[in-house]
Amino acid sequence: MKKSAIRIATLALCAMAVASGPLLLSKAYAAGSETPSSPPPDKKKKDKSSSIDDPKFLAAYRTAYTSIYDRGDYTTAIQQLKALNREDVADVANLIGYSYRKLGNYQASKQYYEQALADDPNHVRTWQYYGLWQLEQGNREQAKYHLDKVAQLAGTNSAEYRSLADALEKQPGTGLVY
């Protein structure tokens, strides 16, 4: 029930953000969601054929998002996200990294997390997911660094902070995968 309520609230928020215009959209989804955030102003690519504001791009992104979070189909999601040809968008690179991590391909996952942070150094969801990656690799100190970065960017009450903090509270070596 709680998960359904969160999804309904998220969908309502998405609808309000889309209706409110691109400026609100870029601020509301900076932490990551089923709608990608705009790249930082100095990173926008003028020569790309699909803008993140393009309805076709958004629909394809949401399809990949659903493949990941609703179906757990990470292989399909990677294909869908790469087909967007927008790995320069932090949300896209982050979800590719997340999918590779869930498949156990940690090297590819790391590459995409770092690409997402190169595109947007303040991308909260990437800091969270990369912190979980660090934890899975046994790098607790690095995971704590990522937690501090999430706290700085989104605060200690954010879902991203709580997720990573909760993971760090678990005993090392338990083999947990996040």
Flag whether 91 is in a domain.
yes
Nearest CA to 37 among 124, 149, 130?
Answer: 124
Examine the pLDDT at 40 and tell me if it is beyond 70. Answer: no
Q: Is residue 8 part of a domain?
A: no
The amino acid that residue 133 corresponds to is W
Which of 60, 141, 136, 147 has its CA nearest to residue 98?
Answer: 136
Domain residues for the domain of 51 are 39-121
- Segment 122-145 shows an average pLDDT of 96
Domain annotation covers residue 71: yes
List pLDDT tens digits, range 104-126.
Answer: 999 999 999 999 999 999 999 99
101 belongs to a structural domain: yes
The whole-number pLDDT of residue 173 equals 63
Degrees to nearest 5, angle at CA 127 with 113 and 131: 90
CB burial of residue 59 (10 Å; 0-12, 13-18, 19+): exposed
Q: By the 8 A CB rule, do 119 and 90 touch?
A: yes
Query: How confident is residue 22, by pLDDT bands cut at 50, 70 and 90?
Result: very low
Residue 157 lies in a domain: no
More confident residue, 28 or 20: 20
pLDDT higher at 10 or 120: 120
What is the structure's pLDDT at 51? 72
Tell me if 80 is assigned to some domain. yes
pLDDT band at 31 (very low <50, low <70, confident <90, very high): very low
Taking 50 as the threshold, does the pLDDT of residue 45 lie above it? no
| Closest C-alpha to 135, from 165, 105, 160 | 165
Helical (H) or strand (E) element with 168: helix 159-169
Instruction: Give the integer Cα–Cα distance in Å for 141 and 122.
Output: 20
Tell me how many domains the chain contains.
1
Q: Per the domain annotation, does 113 fall within a domain?
A: yes
Enter the tokens of residue 51.
């803008």
Q: Which of 139, 141, 76, 123 is nearest to 102 (CA)?
A: 76
pLDDT at 85: 95
Is residue 61 predicted with pLDDT exceeding 70?
yes
pTM to 2 decimal places = 0.73
The chain-wide mean pLDDT, for the chain, equals 80
**HEC sequence for 11-41:** HHHHHHHHHHCHHHHHHHCCCCCCCCCCCCH
In a domain, 114, yes or no: yes
**Structure confidence by residue, pLDDT tens digits, 63-112:** 999 999 999 999 999 999 999 999 999 999 999 999 999 999 999 999 99
Domain harbouring 86, CATH code:
1.25.40.10
